[in-house]
Amino acid sequence: MNKYAANGLAIEAMDGKDIIVIALNARDAMQDFDQDSTWVDRVKRANGAEEISYRGGGKVRFLTEHHRSWEQYRADIIFIDWPVATRLRDEEFYERLRHIVAKRNGVIVRA
């Protein structure tokens, strides 16, 4: 993750979109986001439930590839960070991700 990608995703979340960022380390990925912005409504740093909520109604959730309960999520955008994207070749994993974005005609972005 880098600050440019984070800023682009934050703008989408400010516009009300729900976003999932899949990274090797959720807390590290979260650090690239401006958490003190006036657009930020709430920052949640609970282990395994890291999330930034924006005043526009959107959220950015930070998960790892090993997260177990994918079925509970729906997202407009899933961003797969580069280190994860290069490691993952599991078609079953991508099928679960497609199911998450399908309900909202969303997209999966591989960095």
Give the span between the Cα atoms of 104 and 31, in whole angstroms: 27
The pair of structure tokens assigned to 2 is 């880098």
Divide the 111 residues of the chain into consecutive groups of 10 and give the mean pLDDT of each group. Answer: 92 96 92 89 89 96 83 90 83 84 87 81
Question: What's the confidence (pLDDT) of residue 91?
Answer: 81
Q: What is the DSSP letter of 76?
A: S
Question: What's the confidence (pLDDT) of residue 49?
Answer: 85
Q: Which domain holds residue 18?
A: 3-110
Structural domain count of the chain? 1
User: Residue holding tokens 């682009």?
Assistant: 8
Question: What's the confidence (pLDDT) of residue 103?
Answer: 76
Whether this prediction's pTM lies above 0.85 is answered by yes
Question: Helices marked H in 3-90 — which ranges?
Answer: 3-14, 26-30, 82-87
Let me know: does 50 contact 44? Beta carbons within 8 Å: yes
Closest CA to 17 of 74, 98, 64, 84: 74
Question: What's the confidence (pLDDT) of residue 41?
Answer: 95
Question: What's the confidence (pLDDT) of residue 47?
Answer: 82
